[in-house]
Structure 1
Amino acid sequence: MSVPTEYFERLFRANPDPWAFRSRWYEKRKRELTLATLQHQRYERIFEPACANGELSVALAKRSESLICMDTSFAAVELAREHLKEQTGVEVVHGQLPRDWPEGDFDLIVLSEVGYYLTPHEWQQVIEKAKGSLTPEGSILACHWLPPITDCPQDGRLVHDLLERHLSLHRSVRHEEQDFLLELWCRHLHTIDLEEEAL
């Protein structure tokens, strides 16, 4: 990861919610849009790197049988574990992309607000790992802030341009606003499952 781990460690040690995920309407609304983009009610196995304090993770846990959350900050991992302690089927681990990608396959990978902290080369490695661990019916959700971020090697636009160039998947959802871009990429285009809808 291009941005030093110590940067995130200091952030979370100083403030358990440094980006105000819990209080800002922008973050709450973006989280609801992210969840509404998912095309299945439940997923077997989800991977969410850069989980931060676990605010989105709680909602993902409620829609999955198994969820692996990861963050490069030990402080964030502690906060996420506490936040998720009442959820079942959840594992919160310390690790860094692209090096510490978990074993196994996932039917949903959530890449939210993480790509611009990596160099283009590192991000392409993440893209390859994501493709390689996606189930035949799997999806990759990506959401990133678009304005430039000081001291980050990429911006959100470049992050998503690289996804489009290297994923070789179907883009089933694209939602862009002034501040962020949200996309869902799938191995296969989703059709409505009436049995699933009835659950």
Structure 2
Amino acid sequence: MSAPGQERKQHFDSLYQDSDDPWEIRQRWYERRKRALTLAALPEAYYARAFEPGCGNGELTALLASRCSELLAADIAEHAVSLTRRRVSSALNVKVEQMQWPDVWPSGTVDLVVMSEIGYYLDEPQLLRVADFLHERLSASGAVVACHWRKDIAGWPRNGDAIHAMLRGRLNLPHLCRYQDDDLVLDVWTRDTRSVHEREGLA
């Protein structure tokens, strides 16, 4: 029997063998709207060092690139990594790696972690490791953004509500904001509890 990480890799490798855009994230309004909501929820206009696990074919990566000095995007699927590298080839501040996340993490501290529609594929111990890493490696002003589909995912045990409930229970970080509708849930945690208005130093 293969290990969970190998099963996940085989799953995503199979998806990308059939399509460069298996979830139609380039065309669907749900996906384009979700990216806009994710970017709008970031409490800072710009981040020094960001990490995006599960980058897929790089559509969100390309948008995050303009908000970061340095962005590491990672995926478990080799073809997804190739697609993202092609998508952001002109962005010199972006590095794309094949990574067995969450067993492997970038070195050093990070100022932003964006987890978009990836939590379904992690088991409970892995989700707990994610929370532990964030406590260890998130910078003093860092932020965590998680966004997930709220409906059931065929073949996987947790939907977005369950994932975010686990994160809220484990992340001992101030909760900045939440958005949810019938489709998705989005949460932001940050060590810097100031509002966007306060961060700008306005009276």
The two structures have a TM-score, normalised by structure 2, of: 0.92
Amino acid across the alignment from 2:129: Q
Q: Which amino acid aligns with 2:166?
A: L
**Counterpart check, 1:62 vs 2:66:** yes
CA contact (8 A) 1:120 1:154 kept: no
Which residue number in structure 1 is paired with residue 137 of structure 2?
Answer: 133
TM-fit CA distance, 1:154: 1.9
Identify which of 77, 80, 84 aligns with 1:80.
84
Query: SS at the partner of 1:96?
Result: coil
2:16 maps to 12
Cα RMSD over matched residues?
1.4
Shift of 1:194: 3.1
Q: Distance in 1 between matches of 2:60 and 2:23?
A: 13
Equivalent runs, 1:105-124 vs 2, <5 Å: 105-124=109-128
TM-score scaled by length of structure 1: 0.94
Aligned amino acid, residue 148 of structure 1? D
Aligned pair count? 196
Quick one: distance in 1 between partners of 2:199 and 2:121? 37
2:166 to 157, 162, 165: 162
**Counterpart amino acid of 2:80?**
A
- The residue number in structure 1 matching 2:183 is 179
Unaligned runs of 5+ in 1: none
Give me the whole-angstrom Cα distance separating, in 1, the residues matched to 2:92 and 2:199. 26
Counterpart-to-counterpart distance in 2, 1:90 and 1:188: 25
**Distance across 2 between alignment mates of 1:84 and 1:13:** 21
Paired with 1:168 and 1:4, the residues of 2 have a C-alpha distance of 28
Aligned sequence identity (%): 37
- Cα distance in 1 between the residues matched to 2:45 and 2:125: 34
**Offset at 1:117?**
0.4
Give structure 1 regions of 4+ aligned residues with deviation exceeding 6 angstroms: none
